Amino acid sequence: MLKLFLPDDHVQTVLEITPEFLNEKGIKGVITDLDNTLVAWNQPEATPEVIEWFRQLRSEGIQVTIISNNTEDRVSFFSKPLDIPFISKAKKPMQTAFNRAKTEMNLPDEKIVVVGDQLLTDVFGGNRANLHTVLVVPVVHTDGFFTRFNRKIERRLLQYFKKTGKLNWEDK
């Protein structure tokens, strides 16, 4: 059961998830979280670096869908100017949003990666959907109310994974 909380990969920032990184794994679709994965949870718009990241992925034929537990207003305001498909109020880690994104991408599971900053929502949900998962270090170290609770549980899970040798990266 705990292995469902273990990501396949770990990066400091989404910008490390390059088209080359994805092509090496045969990935053609990215399902990404929004808040504290792409930008700070309280930043309404994409940074120039994130806009360029989307452009690079698109130029390589890699599809991107944003799935977020946040409101439609929040996710739409971020996604629409970038012409990125999105699913708001996703209720991650429940499978509905992951399955919808997979269906809309029309790709097999092994061609899709889930990227996010939380073990309890993004990684757990992505692993349950049989997708490759990448944990990203949160953009900022502040969170909304519910996420703060999740972070306490995540710290314990990460400590356990490190203690048992299941993680091979260092916190920065």
Tokens 């700070």 -> residue: 40
Q: Is 45 left (phi over 0), alpha (psi -120 to 50) or beta?
A: beta
| List of residues 6+ apart from 1 with CB closer than 8 A | none
- Is residue 81 reached through a cis peptide bond, with omega within 30 degrees of 0 on the bond before it? no
Q: Which of 115, 13, 11, 12 is nearest to 63 (CA)?
A: 115
Can you give the pLDDT at residue 172?
A: 40
pLDDT band at 146 (very low <50, low <70, confident <90, very high): low
Mean pLDDT of 2-11: 90
Q: What are the extents of the domains in the chain?
A: 2-163
What is the fold of 2-163? Answer: Rossmann fold (3.40.50)
Continuous segment of H or E residues that includes residue 107? none
pLDDT band at 167 (very low <50, low <70, confident <90, very high): confident
Quick check: pTM over 0.85?
Answer: yes
Helices and strands, counts by H and E, the chain: 6, 6
Determine what percent of the chain is predicted with pLDDT higher than 90. Answer: 76
Q: Tell me: the pLDDT tens digits for 17-75?
A: 999 999 999 999 999 999 999 999 889 999 999 999 999 999 999 999 999 999 999 99
